Every structure is written in C-alpha cells, then in structure tokens.
Structure 1
Amino acid sequence: MISRFKNVLVLAPHTDDGEFGCGGTISRLISQGATVHYIAFSWCEESVPEGFPKDILKSEVKNATSVLGIKSENLHILDYKVRHFTANRQEILEDLIVFRKRINPDLIFIPSVNDVHQDHMTIATEAVRAFKNRNILSYELPWNNFKFSMDYFFKLTEDEILTKLKALSEYKSQIAIRGYASEDFIKGLAKVRGTQVGLEYSEVFEVVRLIS
C-alpha cells in the first residue's frame, strides 16, 4: 500500500531515530522511485561521548542517510536542544508547516504519539497538527514504546535489512552506548515482525492516518 507514495518525509527527533524506526522501509521506497526527505531536529551535541567531536552526529547522519539512498539536499538538520523540545513546541510546529509547504509530502513517518521520550512525543504530536490532512505512520522504537499498535507491516528483504544495519553502523559515536544498536537486535526484531505475519523480515507501523 505505501509503495504508492512518491514524496515521503521522515521526522527524526534526533539523528538516527529515523534509521532505527524505518531504515529498511526508506531503502525500499527509494529503490521503488520515491523521493525521501529526512529532518533531524537535533544533532544532540550534549549526548556525544567523550573523545568525539561535539558535531560528530552531523557527519554521521549524513553518512547514514546516504547509505539508505537519501540525497544530501533532502537531509535537513535542525538545531533544537536535546530533551528541551517541549519548550519549543510552537517553533517546531512552525518549522513543520514550512517544510509541509516546501516539500508537500504525501506520506510522513513520525515517532509514536505514545513514545515516552519527551522529544519524540513532541515531534509526534506537533506533526499530527501540522500534517492533519496527510498520510501519517508512526515507526517503532520498542525501547521507548510501552504502548504501540502494530497496524501495518511492510515487507522487507534481507538486503534491505542489511542496508539498514550498514546505515546504523555509521553512528560510531553511539554504538558503544546503545545496546539496541546491535546487529542481533535490529535483525532479530525485523525477523520477529516478519514472522508475525508470515514474512521473512518486516518493519511495523502504527497507523495515524491513511487516506485512500
């Protein structure tokens, strides 16, 4: 169903959220001819481990999204302070409206509105406001999603899962501090989601709105 969409927008509160939540789907949609834009709202300099440049996540997200096939001009990196999005709700909403007019997406990927991380929740709720007449799917981040409705399963190949893993491997500053960044976890989750619906691999999404 979502393969019909050709102008897609991925909203990542922090660099790497989009790759974790829908990296395989991004890769597949691009291979099928879709244009994908990716907005990272924070490059999280406060979260960079000692020994890395404070702006390392800027270069890492550029490399990771390039692996998925996203063109450099379609990557948009904003500078909101991590864990302070709730104080900037109106500015975030206004940014989203600007991107809506500029990009005019027909499908938007967002975190779950039930995500327990305050930044993720802010992006999700403001996106629902900004794109209230568009198709919206929430991607899964199980370490933050204590409540998540598995409404739509998107079939993926092993190559697409490997592309997702390759993209995530570009986040060298983050791998050591995030247990869920392991290949076993990422590939295993895709395998579990696929098995639930008789597929080899899948990413699952919560439907916020699908217009036919």
Structure 2
Amino acid sequence: MINSNSIISVIAPHPDDETIALGGTIARFSNYGCKVRILVVSGHLPPLYPKESYERTVEEAKIAFKLLGVDEYQFGSIPATFVHQKPVSELNKLIASFISDSKSDVVFIPYPDRHIDHRVIFDASVVACRPVGEYFPKLVFSYETLSETHWNVPGIEPQFCPEVFIDISDHIEKKIQALSAYKSQLTNVDSRSTDACKSLARFRGSQNGCEYAEAFKIVRMII
C-alpha cells in the first residue's frame, strides 16, 4: 500500500507534535524513499507567547525535520490555542491545499483529544481528505500525541484505540534524537519527555511482537 514512490503528508497542530507522534514512522518511510511533507498549522505566537518563542521552535523543528529526512515543510502563522478562531473555510483551505498540491497518497492527522487545536485541526483535516473529485488520499490515519491524547475522559469522550501499528524498532533512536532537538519544549514536561515517548513506543511494540512501534487509528483505507 505504501511504496518508495508514495507521497506522505503529516498535519501537525504545533511544532514537535509530528515527532512525538510519528517521528519513527517519518524516519522509516523517508529512509524507504517516500517523500514526506509536514504542515505545522499553528505555533507559539502572541498573545500567549513572545514571537521569539515561535522563531525558536521553528528553528528546532527544522533541525528535527532534517534528522528525520523530511523533504518539504510549511509553517502556519496561527497562534497556538487560537486555531478555533480562524474562519473554518480558511483553515480547511490551508490543509486541503497542502494535501492536494502534492496529491498525497498517505495523510496522517491528529486525534481529536484534549487540546482544542488538535480537535479543530482533526475536523478540518477530515474535510480536506473527503473522498470526492478526481483526487483524494486513499490512506488516512489519525495519530496519538503524548500527553494530550491520553488525557481524554474515559466513558465520556472518545478514546484512542489503535488498529494500525508501524514497527519503528530500527528508527527509535532517530526519533529520540529528533525530539531532543526541541530543547525549548522538553523543559520540565515529564509527560512529553523523550523517556515517555520511548516508553510508549516500547509498549506499542510489546503489543505487536516488535521492540518499538507507533500506533494509529484508521480514518480511511482504500486498497
């Protein structure tokens, strides 16, 4: 289903979400020859953060992307936690254009979890991937993001119960190396630390007969 000619697009709400969630998968498929593209929709901008924070995380992201073998990336200018204030049509167009411009074969989108940006971007991404017209992505997966995904309330909100697991045993160290590039984001955040990410990958691997894995839910799979 995914071959060396596949074009993969990742929709990330914020810098570091892509590496925390699927850094190993990105490294694996980039190494396989796939073209990997990342859209970072929002960032650490005013009014909640100084502009310097945004600039720093962008530079950190570029280092991480290079380590993971990302071919192309785009940074949005929407302030973090303010994505829901963006007109729906504009947000949908931003994501849809990024996906359709390259005619992506595979798209990874955030799970609608505790973070409001993740929920809004999930909705917009599903719209962008609708099976209409001459082109639409045939494989769409939703990813888990420490720690937000696991803070949903069981029995009241949807829970992340994955059906797809990608073996990243050969790429876990590259993921951790890339995540370590986000020095500004790893300060005093145990739930999103390199140790926590590696532990989750080890747990996902233990569920599936491999050393390390990353987990996903299927949004659409046409084969």
TM-score under structure 2 length normalisation: 0.86
Which of 76, 79, 84 pairs up with 1:78? 76
Deviation at 1:123, TM superposition (A): 0.9
The 1:108/1:39 distance shift into structure 2, 3 A limit, reads same
In the other structure, the counterpart of 1:25 is 25
Deviates more, 1:3-12 or 1:14-23: 3-12
In the other structure, the counterpart of 1:148 is 160
The 1:45/1:81 distance shift into structure 2, 3 A limit, reads closer
Structure 1 segments unaligned to the other structure (5+ residues)? none
TM-score under structure 1 length normalisation: 0.90
Q: For the Cα contact (< 8 Å) 2:44–2:53, is it kept in 1?
A: no
In the other structure, the counterpart of 1:42 is 42
In the alignment, the residues of structure 2 paired with residue 40 and residue 195 of structure 1 have an alpha-carbon distance, to the nearest angstrom, of 30
Deviates more, 1:38-47 or 1:21-30: 38-47
In the other structure, the counterpart of 1:65 is 65
Deviation at 1:101, TM superposition (A): 2.9
Is 1:99 the equivalent of 2:93? no
In the other structure, the counterpart of 1:136 is 140
Cα deviation, 1:45-67, whole Å, max 9, x if unaligned, reads: 35659xx6552111111111111
1:114-193 correspondence to structure 2 within 5 Å: 114-133=112-131, 134=137, 135-145=139-149, 146=152, 147-157=159-169, 159-193=170-204
* Partner SS state of residue 79, structure 1: strand
* Partner SS state of residue 176, structure 1: coil
Which letter maps to 1:206?
K
Cα deviation, 1:82-120, whole Å, max 9, x if unaligned, reads: 1111111321101122223311101100111x3121101
Is 1:205 the equivalent of 2:216? yes
Q: For the Cα contact (< 8 Å) 1:23–1:68, is it kept in 2?
A: yes
In the alignment, the residues of structure 2 paired with residue 60 and residue 22 of structure 1 have an alpha-carbon distance, to the nearest angstrom, of 17
In the alignment, the residues of structure 2 paired with residue 53 and residue 95 of structure 1 have an alpha-carbon distance, to the nearest angstrom, of 23
Q: Pairwise CA RMSD of aligned residues? A: 2.0
Runs of 4+ in 1 over 4 A off after TM superposition: 1-5, 46-49
In the alignment, the residues of structure 2 paired with residue 130 and residue 92 of structure 1 have an alpha-carbon distance, to the nearest angstrom, of 10
In the alignment, the residues of structure 2 paired with residue 29 and residue 54 of structure 1 have an alpha-carbon distance, to the nearest angstrom, of 28
The 1:161/1:48 distance shift into structure 2, 3 A limit, reads farther
The 1:5/1:121 distance shift into structure 2, 3 A limit, reads farther
* Partner SS state of residue 200, structure 1: coil
Which letter maps to 1:101?
S
Q: For the Cα contact (< 8 Å) 2:166–2:215, is it kept in 1?
A: yes
Structure 2 segments unaligned to the other structure (5+ residues)? 132-136, 153-158
The 1:132/1:85 distance shift into structure 2, 3 A limit, reads same
Bigger fraction of residues in helix: 1
* Partner SS state of residue 55, structure 1: helix
Over the matched positions of the two proteins, sequence identity in percent amounts to 32
